[in-house]
A and B are shown apart, each in its own frame.
Chain A
Amino acid sequence: MSTSGDERDRRTEFELLARTHAEMLEAYLRTLLRGGNLLDDMFQETLIVAWRKFETFDRTRPFDTWLRGIARVCLLEQARKQRVQPASMDPEVLSAIDRRFEVLSRDADGSSFVQRVERLVQCMGRLPEAMRQAVDLVCAREIPIVAAARSLDLSEETLKKRVQRGRQLLAECIGLNGNSEGVPQ
């Protein structure tokens, strides 16, 4: 009975932790996945693997960091099987992404991951309109470059540069590198 009770407790603890960090996991996977169609699958795969390994989880360490590590391994495994296409396979880029998620998750001012991410909304509002439209269409709405360029009456190259600059400004604005409020007022 006690084994069954322990199992229930463990499951309850795992579900609680998973629920707490579910939105972070979604955001992380959306960052790593090229396209969001497989988000559901990767989300589930990550949690199943995490559950299997939950006994080995060191409770003195942050759960979200541990979960991201599992998500990353799962993603690379699926990429190796050519089931998903990651946004990057470069280990340096992936490590840099992990470091930035650490920053987002443990903000010095005490705001939560969700609160930190929501700042992006204000940052978007501060982008110059033309840049905001470009970023909105291409990044947020995932409109293909060709269609977005046509919609904005821009060349694809101009649109790409505008989006790239917009992304950089947004990254500065939410302080991924310790800076903040990088977008000009």
Chain B
Amino acid sequence: MSSTPRLGHGESNGDGTPAHPAQTADELIAEGLLRHLSNRDASATEQRLAAAMAAIDQEKAGPRAATPAAPRFRTPRWALAAAAIVVIAGTAMMLGIPGEQSAMAQVQQTLAAMRSVGDRRYVVQLDGADETNGGMPNGIIDTRSPGLLLIQHRPPWQREFTTVGRDEQGKWAIRSDGQVERANPNRYWPPWVTIDGESLFADSLDELLESLPKAYTLGTPVRESLQGGDRVYSRITATRINTSGPQPHVVDLWIDPETRLADRVEFRWNRGPGGHSHTEGEHGAPREDGDEGRFDHGPDHNHKHHDGPRRPMPDHEHDFDDHHEPHSSPDGRGRAPHDHDHEHDDDFVNMPPLAMMQWMGEEGVMLMWSSKPGGRKGGPPRGEGRGKGGPGLLTFQRIPVPELPTDWFTPASHMPATESPEEPGLGKSAGNGE
């Protein structure tokens, strides 16, 4: 017999009075439909239907029919189900077991789609980064299979973006003097791609996603829209089996059912065992929004081995210099090195990141990465990773990408511009603010 426990429905109204049958019915239906949406699978429905029709045909053919049409569903099904439940019960506490296979299939399809789709662009938001970014993205990633990568990121305490990448020859970076660094490019790479010396995604975002089936328990896919949007995604939550090491404890994927691409990826780190997250405030006080979120606590940075991205440290070459670059706006927020004009939207491809954000409209970008379910407009949730602590959440949001030039992932495409700053023609390394 099925024994999955379900929460009582409308058993009381909290004051001891029994709930009205209508209320109980409402709750049962809401839950039933939710479970239906979570487990909905057209092929499974078709299979059920086919099995039922086969059983009907078999029944019509009479008891002497040669082969049972659908033995799985008919003869010993109660006994088989009971046996299956015994097996399942042992692992019932693990997240996502019922939908594991479906989730696995979806992740595999996503990986295949990512390899074949061509160029992709993600904006990166790191909760817990310093406040000086003014809510701007921490980076923009362009990626092309296999393994080509371009990251335009804003180092901590810097107003300008640095460009790093990987091409066929390996990693590179554009130094602040405008030269290409291939010997030791790691120092220019954003801190959030390397944690305690281990690479979060050594070659690409895809590489970490490829590790999901092996290193993570995949939860049941849930149909879910991002706040503020109508598109319904298949959200898969992957929980790491072994939580030692720096990799995120939880990875959430929002997969577009049409393109099979992960339009949003979230890396989360749980609170350390018994410890208070630094994200809770100076003295472990409850977060100001009182939300007891389950995954939104940053790593314990007092621990010797940090979990999650380490807090970015200032580069000694440009420590704490509060440069007032000509490209910074008076209100302290960066703006495009080239005073980008909306008439030049065709030059999107070559826009430096800040210009691109300006082109998109800052609010548009903000909405994009705050549009997680329950998220707030205008930045990460209150109290979540802000201030002193390291990030508990690293978000990658896919955005449209124009056709990138063939050499986009080579440093030559991103050398400092020598032309007039009024012309937003070529991408430009923003340097390190020196």
Contacts and interface: CB of A to CB of B under 8 A. Distances in A.
Given A44-B55, A85-B2, A100 B25 contact: yes
Contacts of B344: none
B26 A100 contact: yes
Contact of B374 (A27, A128, A138, A147): A128
A171 B56 contact: no
Interface stretch (B80-88, B137-145, B308-316, B413-421): B80-88
B24 interface: yes
A170 B51 CA distance: 33
A88 interface: yes
A122 B227 CA distance: 8
B21 A92 contact: yes
Given A84-B2, A129-B374, A41 B226 contact: no
A85 B39 contact: no
Interface string B71-99: 01110011001001100100011011010
A139 B3 contact: no
Contacts of B29: 31, 97, 100-101, 104, 171, 176
A125 B294 contact: no
Interface stretch (B111-119, B173-181, B217-225, B390-398): B217-225
B26 to A, nearest CB: 4
Contacts of B224: 121, 124-125
Interface stretch (B4-12, B151-159, B347-355, B359-367): B4-12
Interface string A71-115: 000000000001111011010110111011100100000000000
B37 A141 contact: no
A27 B41 CA distance: 12
Interface residues on B, range: 35 or more
A158 B27 CA distance: 17
Given A88-B24, A88-B28, A37 B39 contact: no
A27 B4 contact: no
A178 to B, nearest CB: 12
Contacts of A32: 28, 32
Contact of A41 (B3, B49, B78): B78
Contacts of B333: none
Given A27-B33, A30-B32, A125-B225, A141 B51 contact: no
B7 A163 contact: yes
B423 to A, nearest CB: 43
Contacts of B27: 164, 167-168, 171
25 contacts: A11-B57, A23-B40, A30-B33, A34-B2, A36-B35, A40-B48, A41-B73, A41-B77, A44-B73, A82-B1, A93-B25, A120-B34, A121-B224, A129-B291, A133-B293, A133-B294, A135-B34, A136-B222, A141-B219, A147-B93, A151-B294, A161-B14, A168-B27, A170-B30, A176-B29
The range of chain A's interface size is 35 or more
B38 interface: yes
A48 B55 contact: yes
Contact of A15 (B24, B53, B227): B53
Contact of A177 (B14, B22, B375): B22
Given A128-B374, A151-B294, A87 B55 contact: no
B192 to A, nearest CB: 24
A71 B203 CA distance: 53
A144 interface: yes
A83 B1 contact: yes
B59 interface: yes
Nearest to A46: B52
Ranked nearest first, the 4 interchain pairs of A and B with the lowest CB-CB distance are A129-B374, A31-B32, A35-B4, A96-B25
A70 interface: no
B258 interface: no
Nearest to A169: B30
Contacts of B60: 7
A117 B232 CA distance: 13
B37 A93 contact: no
Given A34-B2, A35-B5, A130-B293, 12 more contacts: A15-B49, A31-B28, A31-B31, A44-B73, A48-B55, A97-B25, A118-B232, A139-B7, A140-B37, A140-B220, A152-B294, A167-B27
